[in-house]
């Protein structure tokens, strides 16, 4: 599953949000017998109306959605990068995730103390971002020291380019800017450096504005501030009310819809976070549909049929012969695989076929 780390200052609502995720996981637990339960991890489905539409046609024994794995990275505070307290352990957890969800407090509530005395999401975001940048500087400087020693008398152009990229990145980070915005981020040298030190601040970020129950659509100036910060980083914002999410996660499906509608909403904040995390990384889904199960599989946009087959099993990728593919819209239009075949919309595709979002697929392979 796609892995997402939740960060934010203490008392901004991370645990509340995470409780909601855990409830959502436990409601689904029967579908994921293979998931071990870990206290700071919640695996939740990515909502996808297409999966439900296919299942309604096929009537399978089981429906398996794509999933997102959330890790609660609590305890990130000012000084974490210097290893104060348990800081470094948290940073290690962040390194393992693909997307960071940065929760910022955008609710006023006199009963909830703020660690810095007043509510100011811009300052809060800056505290966390600064720690992450400092952590990257530390790793980079260690690496750069070693690389510079290697370059003594060396004419290895690749290494020299990488050192130059490292110096450029160090200056950029020292300016308080995230690695994701460094100039020349797509050059070979910078990519090689990123692969090497895996900067935390090169990861995709989604800002999560935790709003009060009185502002479910996020119209307060506090949220406007979060939007401004996100826009400067080319990141998205999700407005969530953690308290409401917690309540929602405990409701049955029909009650959920009613609850959301009463706030003028159609989808829970957690569903939006899961979906956005998925799309932020350029991920798409293809489907397998049979009487045993209808299932969504996750691939990166642009991947070819054999790699997609490899998601299901490495043997299918290795022995790949061809794929029988039905476009999602065709499947819905003709209502079954047999009717798609009869209508001539089931296509035979070879190893160079680039998968499209929503493809319904059968892979043929040699064992
Ligand atoms: P964490 O330290 O970031 O994990 O924060 P918590 O989830 O423990 O939340 C801190 C406090 O803020 C708790 O008392 C929560 O009940 C409260 N809180 C969290 N989200 C909301 C919200 O959306 N509205 C209000 N009014 N309070 C919230």
**Residues 61-115 pLDDT 10s:** 999 999 889 998 876 767 766 765 455 677 788 888 999 999 999 998 888 877 7
CA 211 to ligand 1: nearest atom: 23
Reading the block at residue 212, the tokens are 């009060």
Ligand 1 pocket (Cβ < 6 Å) reads 8, 10-16, 74, 107, 109, 112, 210, 212-213, 241-243
Reading the block at residue 30, the tokens are 């029967």
For range 184-204, the mean pLDDT: 94
Ligand 1 midpoint to CA 131 (Å): 22
Q: What percent of the chain lies above the pLDDT cut of 70?
A: 94
Helix or strand run (H / E) with residue 314:
helix 314-318
Question: In the sheet where 236-240 sits, what is the strand order?
Answer: 41-45, 67-72, 2-7, 99-106, 204-211, 236-240
Annotation: binding site for ATP:
11-16
The number of C-alpha atoms within 13 Å of 201 and in the hemisphere containing its C-beta is: 30
Which value does ipTM take for this structure? 0.95
Reading the block at residue 261, the tokens are 């509608």
Tokens 């045993």 locate to 292
Alpha carbon distance 184, 181 (integer Å): 9
> Given CA atoms 334, 340, 342, 347 in this order, what sign does their dihedral have?
positive
Instruction: Tell which residue, 358, 362, 344, 357, has the closest CA to residue 290.
Output: 362
Ligand 1 midpoint to CA 11 (Å): 6
For range 232-254, the mean pLDDT: 90
Helix (H, G, I), strand (E, B) or coil at 123: helix
- Comparing 312 with 78, which gets the higher pLDDT? 312
Whether residue 189 is predicted with pLDDT greater than 50 in this model: the reply is yes
Cα dihedral: 18, 20, 22, 25 (round 10)? -130
The pLDDT value recorded for residue 85 is 47
* Furthest C-alpha separation in the chain: 71
Instruction: Tell which residue, 132, 199, 116, has the closest CA to residue 165.
Output: 199
DSSP 117: S
Instruction: Tell which residue, 207, 225, 228, 219, has the closest CA to residue 272.
Output: 207
Alpha carbon distance 236, 213 (integer Å): 21
Confidence of residue 143 (pLDDT cuts 50, 70, 90): very high
DSSP 97: -
């Amino acid at each position: 599953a796609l892995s997402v780390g939740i960060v934010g200052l203490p008392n901004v609502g991370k645990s509340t949000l995470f409780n909601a995720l855990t409830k959502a996981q436990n409601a689904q637990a029967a579908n994921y017998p293979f998931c071990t339960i870990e206290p700071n991890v919640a695996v939740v489905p990515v909502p996808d109306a297409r999966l439900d539409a296919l299942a309604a046609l096929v009537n399978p024994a089981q429906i398996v959605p794509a999933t997102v794995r959330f890790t609660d990275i609590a305890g990130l505070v000012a000084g974490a990068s210097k290893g104060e307290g348990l800081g470094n352990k948290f940073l290690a957890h962040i390194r393992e995730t693909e997307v960071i969800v940065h929760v910022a407090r955008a609710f006023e509530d006199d009963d909830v103390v703020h660690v810095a005395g007043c509510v100011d999401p811009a300052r809060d975001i800056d505290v966390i971002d600064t720690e992450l940048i400092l952590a990257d500087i530390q790793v980079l400087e260690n690496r750069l020291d070693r690389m510079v020693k290697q370059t003594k008398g060396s004419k290895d152009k690749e290494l020299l380019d990488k050192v130059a990229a490292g110096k450029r990145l160090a200056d950029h980070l020292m300016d308080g800017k995230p690695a994701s915005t460094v100039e020349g981020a797509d050059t070979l040298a910078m990519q090689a450096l990123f692969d090497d030190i895996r900067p935390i601040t090169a990861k995709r970020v989604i800002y999560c504005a935790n709003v009060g129950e009185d502002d479910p659509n996020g119209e307060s100036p506090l949220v406007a501030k979060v939007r401004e910060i996100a826009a400067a980083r080319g990141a998205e914002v999700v407005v969530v009310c953690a308290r409401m999410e917690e309540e929602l996660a405990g409701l049955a499906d029909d009650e959920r819809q009613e609850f959301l509608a009463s706030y003028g909403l159609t989808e829970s904040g957690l569903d939006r976070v899961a979906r956005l995390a998925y799309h932020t990384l350029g991920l798409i889904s293809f489907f397998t549909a049979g009487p045993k199960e209808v299932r969504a599989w996750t691939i990166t946009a642009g991947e070819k049929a054999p790699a997609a087959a490899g998601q299901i099993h490495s043997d299918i990728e290795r022995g790949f012969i061809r794929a029988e593919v039905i476009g999602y819209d065709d499947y819905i239009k003709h209502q079954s695989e047999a009717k798609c075949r009869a209508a001539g919309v089931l296509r035979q595709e070879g190893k160079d076929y680039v998968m499209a979002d929503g493809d319904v697929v059968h892979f043929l392979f040699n064992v």
